[in-house]
Amino acid sequence: MEEGGEHTSLLVKDDASCHGDGSQNLLEANRGSQLKSKRSDWRAPAVILGLECLESMAFNGIATNLVVYIRSVLHGGIASSASTVSLWYGTSFFVPILGATVADTYLGNYKTILISLIMYLLGMVLITVATFIPSTSVLCDMSSCLSSDGTQNLIFFVGLYLTAVGCGGLRSALLPFGADQFSNEHTLDIKKRRNFFSLFYICVIFGVITSGTIIVWVQENVSWAIGYGIATTCIGLALIGFLVGTPIFRQDEPCGSPVKSILQVIVASFRNMSLEVPADSSLLYEIRSNHTQRTKLVHSDDFRFLDKAAVISDLSLASGSCRSSWSLCTVTDVEELKILIRLLPIWVTGIFFGAAISQMHTTFIQQGTVMNTKIGSLSIPPASLYSFEVICVTLWVLVVNKVIVPATRTYFANGAELTQLQRIGIGRFLMILAMAVAALLETKRLQSVQDGEPLSIVWQLPQYFVIAGAECFAVITQLEFFHGQAPDSMKSMLTAFALLTTALGNYLSSAIITFIAGVTRVWQSPGWIPDDLNRGHLDYYYWCLAGLSLANFVVYLYFASKYKLKKVVIS
């Protein structure tokens, strides 16, 4: 694949007058090859996992009780408090796209993480300082309260949005930076990378549980200032740990603007619309030198129109080695855009999956509140079952890695195992089962209400167990898959987009439940999802989600079966 035709040999990027200092490029290439051949240091991924635990604790230490703090301490209105929290949440989930672009294009993951941690810490310090400022006396009646001190508000919200920016930058870069600590040239490192993605996700949900218990308890029972101070300490320790770990980290340089490269391929394709794509792909333009550490990709036959961007015209031959990237692109440039197009439908199915999985934070809890929460003398808060789901995710990860994967190696004659796309597909299928189990339980619960014997909340455990399996197979593997398929110049960006499916799934879930509640209320009052669930039919809503998940699974199977994995040119 590396040997091209004679026309191609006339257009190589060896001319320093057109493409910069060749010796500097060669130095970067040597550095890149050393990074790729170097075995991973187990300490580097361990430090990054520790950083994620601390970051997750800090973020959720703010987020979990934020609406309560704004309402009770800053004396915001009910609607304005909810709106403020939603806006902040949205910012923290969409900033990673910007952070990923900066990391891939200009700074690289290491510098992006460092700057983000500093901003994060500064924001946390401001939030903590604001909580130490005593609120002014307020007069409240049944409808409103006077606003608290303006200085306290200013410091708090400046800090709050600094943490959103810092958190966004950290989310965009930390996971791909951790994955890059493993070498692609060692089989053991590749296996360790899979475990790293699972452990990283467990660290995220570990932080959710820890902050939701310890930090929230301190905030409500001891002091808001001490509670936020604990979260601030977590980020401070994360920054110190990151700086201490610097000597053992593998650091890659940014590869240039991925957005610019995409636009260049599109423009060049239309400019070369009149040119014929040669049957021999080796006649398409590609860089033959190794002056950059960028991985070259093998040509694929789909989306042939885009190949026109790499067709060498007579005008290109006349211009010699100097050419415009807006009229002639490399095969690698074209293939990178093809990868994005192939990933798009997989990504969209992830949003619909995210809408279904978000039920465990919303309707599952609401379902639990109308069940018998007593187990003996203990009263079980419905929201606490999320902790059971987290434990189940951990168990699923262990079962998959220690039982299912070895079993598939034994089953398949060639020693192969489940592919990433197959594992994501299993997760999509388990989501159908999870919604069906929830629907059947709700039908049984409604029947128990009519019989005068409320169903025990213990019956919710099976649906949490199944949805944990779906999360293990689909969410964790999707992060690994997007990072593995991403071109060198887009690893942070595609990892951020993979994480974004969770946020977009929550928005989609909100839209679906609002639509269904409104439409069914018009059909027959009080509708499927009334304030009193005993008068509604939440089971019908779950069956709708099961049907939507089934359609999503079928669409996923189609595109997954057509998907062509990324192939690199081996030197």
Residue 557: CATH number of its domain: 1.20.1250.20
Q: How far is CA 10 from the centre of its chain?
A: 43
Cβ–Cβ contacts within 10 Å for residue 404, how many? 16
CB-based contact 307:264 (threshold 8 Å): no
> Are 500 and 360 in the same domain?
yes
Q: Which pLDDT belongs to residue 77? A: 66
| DSSP state for residue 327 in the 8-state scheme | T
Q: How far apart are CA 6 and CA 285, in angstroms?
A: 11
Residue 18 resides in a domain:
no
> Are 265 and 374 in the same domain?
no
Q: How far is CA 206 from the centre of its chain?
A: 16
Count of CA atoms in the C-beta half-sphere (13 A) of 529 = 19
> Are 196 and 211 in the same domain?
yes
> Are 348 and 402 in the same domain?
yes
Q: For residue range 87-124, what is the model confidence (pLDDT) as tens digits?
A: 787 778 788 888 888 888 888 889 999 999 999 999 99
Residues 6+ apart with CB under 8 A from 94: 168, 500, 503
Residue 334 resides in a domain:
no
Residue 496 resides in a domain:
yes
- Which residues face 374 on adjacent strands? 379
> Are 162 and 174 in the same domain?
yes
CB-based contact 169:99 (threshold 8 Å): yes
Tell me whether strands 378-379 and 374-375 are parallel, antiparallel or unpaired: antiparallel
Residue of 566, 389, 361, 359 whose CA lies nearest to 469:
389
What value does the CA radius of gyration of the chain take, rounded to a whole number of Å? Answer: 27
> Are 455 and 409 in the same domain?
yes
CB-based contact 409:484 (threshold 8 Å): no
CB-based contact 344:315 (threshold 8 Å): no
Residue ranges of E strands in 329-450: 374-375, 378-379
C-alpha angle with apex 148: 142 to 152, nearest 5 degrees?
A: 155
Q: How far apart are CA 84 and CA 89, in angstroms?
A: 9
CB-based contact 339:485 (threshold 8 Å): yes
Residue 24 resides in a domain:
no
Domain count, the chain: 3
> Are 261 and 229 in the same domain?
no
Residue ranges of E strands in 388-502: none
Q: How far apart are CA 556 and CA 446, in angstroms?
A: 34
- Assigned token pair, 330: 């490399």
- Assigned token pair, 411: 């089953």
Q: How far apart are CA 396 and CA 410, in angstroms?
A: 20
Amino acid at 389: E
C-alpha angle with apex 335: 333 to 340, nearest 5 degrees?
A: 100
CB-based contact 489:109 (threshold 8 Å): no
Q: How far apart are CA 212 and CA 197, in angstroms?
A: 23
- Low-confidence stretches of the chain (pLDDT beneath 70): 1-41, 77-83, 86, 135-149, 184-187, 255, 288-294, 314-323, 413-415, 571
Q: pTM for this one?
A: 0.79
> Are 245 and 262 in the same domain?
no
> Are 107 and 199 in the same domain?
yes
- Assigned token pair, 466: 């199944």
Q: How far is CA 87 from the centre of its chain?
A: 19
Q: How far apart are CA 174 and CA 242, in angstroms?
A: 11
What residue numbers bound the domain in which 544 lies?
343-563
Residue 122 resides in a domain:
yes
Q: How far apart are CA 262 and CA 336, in angstroms?
A: 8
Q: How far apart are CA 481 and CA 500, in angstroms?
A: 15
- Assigned token pair, 51: 């950083």
Residue 526: asked if its preceding bond is cis (omega within 30°), the reply is yes
Amino acid at 360: M
> Are 486 and 351 in the same domain?
yes
> Are 187 and 271 in the same domain?
no
Q: Which pLDDT belongs to residue 25? A: 41
Residue 29 resides in a domain:
no
Residue 280 resides in a domain:
yes
CA atoms 37, 38, 41, 46: torsion sign:
negative
Residue 239 resides in a domain:
yes
Q: How far apart are CA 296 and CA 566, in angstroms?
A: 11
Cβ–Cβ contacts within 10 Å for residue 473, how many? 25
> Are 413 and 264 in the same domain?
no
